[in-house]
Amino acid sequence: MPGLRKDESIWPIAFRLAFEEKQIGRWPTLSWSIEDVCLYDQDKKDEVAQSEGGHILPLELYRDERTEYRFNLSSQDPHLFIVCEEENEQLSPLLVTAAQSVAGSYMDGDYQVLHIQIPLQVQAWMEAFIGRHGELIEFRRKRCKNKNKDQKGRSSGN
């Protein structure tokens, strides 16, 4: 992705998809992992992207997902999720997200989702994003318990 630069809501991340063949019972299967994550050096990013299994995808933050980012960052082990599509036993990454529900919705749609720990630099960048735009507080309407306290039931009109 030439020309894609880091800013306050987008961070291009280079990585390599690697696989290892494992024996599960009697059947061989491929086990995928994320390797060679590169955050900064553009030359290194290009090198990783041009290597076998290499990719550059943007991690893009959205204001309406701030609660998800806070939940992820507050967890004991924050993760980035890489959503991949499988075709002919090969994975093709589609999206990098820090929102667990987004990753979960792709998993429900039969996509494969890999994850890595969020690098500390990206965690700080996400915290700055949340700080700039404020915490998103989920507003839920509370039911009024004592609204009709004096009424004993419905009137039948008689």
Beta bridge partners of 56: 14
Q: Which of 30-44, 76-90, 94-108 has the lowest mean pLDDT?
A: 30-44
Q: Considering only CA atoms, which of 117, 124, 41, 125 is closest in space to residue 82?
A: 117
pLDDT-derived band at 140, boundaries 50, 70, 90: low
Q: Which of 61-70, 84-93, 112-121 has the lowest mean pLDDT?
A: 84-93
Q: For the chain, what are the domain ranges?
A: 10-133
- The arithmetic mean of pLDDT across residues 109-125, rounded, is 93
DSSP helix/strand/coil, 98: coil
Burial label, 118 (beta-carbon count in 10 A; 0-12, 13-18, 19+) = buried
Q: Which two tokens stand for residue 17?
A: 């998809």
- What pTM does this model have? 0.78
Average pLDDT of every residue of the chain = 84
By percentage, how much of the chain surpasses pLDDT 90? 46
- 120 CB-near residues (< 8 Å, 6+ apart): none
